[in-house]
């Protein structure tokens, strides 16, 4: 009878210990998974940011426009609703001086070859800022890593 009690006690302790080990193992796996998940997310975000910086087009103002008080903000390249792919440049311009003239935009591909031109008549007063749309021809496509020069 005494040995039977020992067997039951031993079995009970073994089951309790196994359950405790199982719970601790699960907690450790969950914590490890959380760390891996956070690291993977940061890694993917870093890659995405790096790709964006590598592929994005650059906008450059001519020295004369800078002297005339113009600067740029955000820009976006989209499809023209009237036709074409990536041939509509929306550019945020900031005016630190009065401006009345024609802005000409040239697009150069990653190899430095000119791929398109557009122009827009602009009249703004000092202190204003606004978005302006430059529409290129249907065959123009502003590609990744293009240089956009505003003159």
What secondary structure does DSSP assign to 58-82, as a single string?
Answer: EEEE-HHHHHTTEEEEEEEEE--TT
Lowest mean pLDDT among 13-22, 47-56, 73-82: 47-56
pTM: 0.65
pLDDT tens, position by position, 70-98: 999 999 999 988 888 899 999 999 999 99
In this structure, the number of other CB atoms found within 10 A of the CB of residue 36 comes to 10
Give the pLDDT band (50/70/90) at residue 128.
very high
- Higher local confidence (pLDDT), 130 or 34: 130
Check if the beta carbon of residue 60 is closer than 8 Å to that of residue 150. Answer: yes
What pLDDT, on the 0 to 100 scale, is given for residue 52?
43
Q: What is the largest CA-CA distance in the chain?
A: 107
d(CA 123, CA 13): 86
What pLDDT, on the 0 to 100 scale, is given for residue 47?
46
In this structure, the number of other CB atoms found within 10 A of the CB of residue 25 comes to 10
d(CA 10, CA 15): 9
């Amino acid at each position: 009878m005494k040995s039977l009690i020992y067997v039951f006690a031993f079995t009970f302790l073994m089951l309790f210990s196994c359950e405790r080990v199982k719970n601790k193992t699960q907690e450790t796996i969950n914590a490890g998974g959380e760390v891996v998940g956070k690291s993977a997310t940061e890694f993917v975000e870093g890659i995405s940011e790096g790709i964006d910086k590598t592929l994005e087009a650059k906008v450059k103002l001519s020295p004369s426009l800078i002297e005339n008080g113009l600067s740029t903000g955000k820009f976006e390249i989209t499809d023209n609703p009237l036709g074409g792919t990536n041939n509509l440049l929306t550019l945020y311009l900031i005016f630190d001086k009065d401006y009345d003239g024609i802005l000409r935009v040239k697009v150069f591909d990653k190899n430095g070859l000119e791929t398109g031109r557009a122009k827009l008549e602009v009249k703004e007063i000092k202190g204003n800022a606004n978005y302006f749309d430059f529409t290129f021809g249907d065959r123009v496509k502003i590609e990744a890593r293009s240089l956009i020069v505003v003159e």
